[in-house]
């Protein structure tokens, strides 16, 4: 079993819809959670960073961490065609600076 | 502000040829540096990381090596490329917290 599981998709939704992207993990020591967005043939860019549990909002994006369920989510409101990309989750524990990565979910927003 | 550069952007090489990919970071000193490989439709595989000049840690035994001859320069090399070395190579730097910031990547095709 991988430490971090992420559905590869593709997930196709119409423009304006609310998108929910998710990752599950097995290591209860993970405390730092990140979401990256990667456009085709580009390097990943950091979208959201959360420490421990709770929600964090930034514009149309909300990151949610549920440590009891070992489950993290990224919500995108009012989705736009420009949101079409691969979304990668990453996480790490207190004891180690290395990031453990999900495989990424490919998101397609249809105009 | 900090900027990370990678070159070349694209490379096509025959099997058995050598490889040298370069990564440089501007606007910071003593960054933690990382080399990742991303296969098509896959997540990020950590290859090497470095906490300082001449200090390299290898995560995966393979046909590749890394060097850090200067504080803000990180080089990925191979003496003889294999078909399985094809992929998207990403350099990243970590300023001091948990988040990593990526360069634009090098797409390597080994024929």
B1 touches chain A (CB under 8 A): no
List, for residues A80-91, the tens digit of each pLDDT value. 999 999 999 999
pLDDT for res B111: 96
DSSP string, A33-89: EEEEEE-TTS--EEEEEEESSEEEEETTEEEEEETTTTEEEEEESS--GGG-EEEEE
- Over residues B39-52, the mean pLDDT reads 88
More confident residue, B41 or A55: A55
- Over residues B51-73, the mean pLDDT reads 90
Searching chain B, which residue's CA lies closest to the CA of residue A106? B41
Searching chain B, which residue's CA lies closest to the CA of residue A102? B43
List, for residues A62-74, the tens digit of each pLDDT value. 999 999 999 999 9
pLDDT for res B61: 66
Q: Give φ, ψ of A47 to 5 degrees.
A: -105, -50
pLDDT for res A47: 97
Q: Which of B34, B44, B106 to mutate to test the interface with A (most CBs of A within 10 A)?
A: B44
B49: chain A residues, CB-CB within 8 Å: 98
B62 pLDDT higher than 80: no
Q: pLDDT band at B104, cuts 50/70/90?
A: very high
Going by C-alpha positions, the residue among B12, B15, B48, B10 that lies closest to residue B32 is B48
Distance from CA of B105 to the nearest CA of A (A): 6
Distances (CA, A) of A91 to A4, A42, A65, A94: 8, 21, 11, 10
**Beta carbons of B90 and A43 less than 8 Å apart:** yes
Closest partner residue to B94 among A44, A45, A97, by Cβ?
Answer: A97
- Over residues B68-86, the mean pLDDT reads 95
- Over residues B24-38, the mean pLDDT reads 94
Between the CA atoms of A101, A47, B23 and B67, what dihedral angle is there, to the nearest 10 degrees?
-30
**Beta carbons of A42 and B32 less than 8 Å apart:** no
Token digits of residue A100: 């453990």
Inter-residue long-range contacts of A62-70, CB under 8 Å, 24+ positions, other chains counted: A63/A33, A63/A35, A65/A33, A67/A28, A69/A24, A70/A24, A70/A25, A70/A26, A70/A28, A70/A30
Q: Across the strands, what pairs with A35?
A: A48, A89
């Amino acid at each position: 079993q991988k430490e971090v599981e992420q559905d590869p998709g593709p997930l196709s939704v119409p423009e304006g819809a609310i998108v929910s992207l998710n990752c599950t993990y097995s290591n209860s020591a993970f405390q730092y959670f990140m979401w990256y967005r990667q456009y085709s043939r580009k390097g990943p860019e950091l979208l959201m960073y959360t420490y421990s549990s709770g929600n964090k909002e930034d514009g149309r994006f909300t990151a949610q961490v549920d440590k009891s369920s070992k489950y993290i989510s990224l919500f995108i409101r009012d989705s736009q065609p420009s949101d079409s990309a691969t979304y990668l989750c990453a996480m790490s524990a207190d004891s180690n600076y290395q990031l453990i990565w999900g495989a990424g979910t490919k998101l397609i927003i249809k105009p | 502000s900090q900027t990370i550069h990678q070159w070349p952007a694209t490379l096509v090489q025959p099997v058995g040829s050598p490889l040298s990919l370069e990564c440089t970071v501007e606007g910071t000193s003593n960054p933690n540096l990382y080399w990742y490989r991303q296969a098509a439709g896959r997540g990020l595989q950590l290859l090497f990381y470095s906490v300082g000049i001449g200090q390299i840690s290898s995560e995966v035994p393979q046909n590749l090596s890394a060097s850090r001859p200067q504080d803000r320069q990180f080089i990925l090399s191979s003496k003889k490329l294999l078909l399985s070395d094809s992929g998207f190579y990403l350099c990243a730097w970590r300023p001091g917290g948990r988040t990593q910031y990526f360069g634009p990547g090098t797409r390597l095709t080994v024929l």
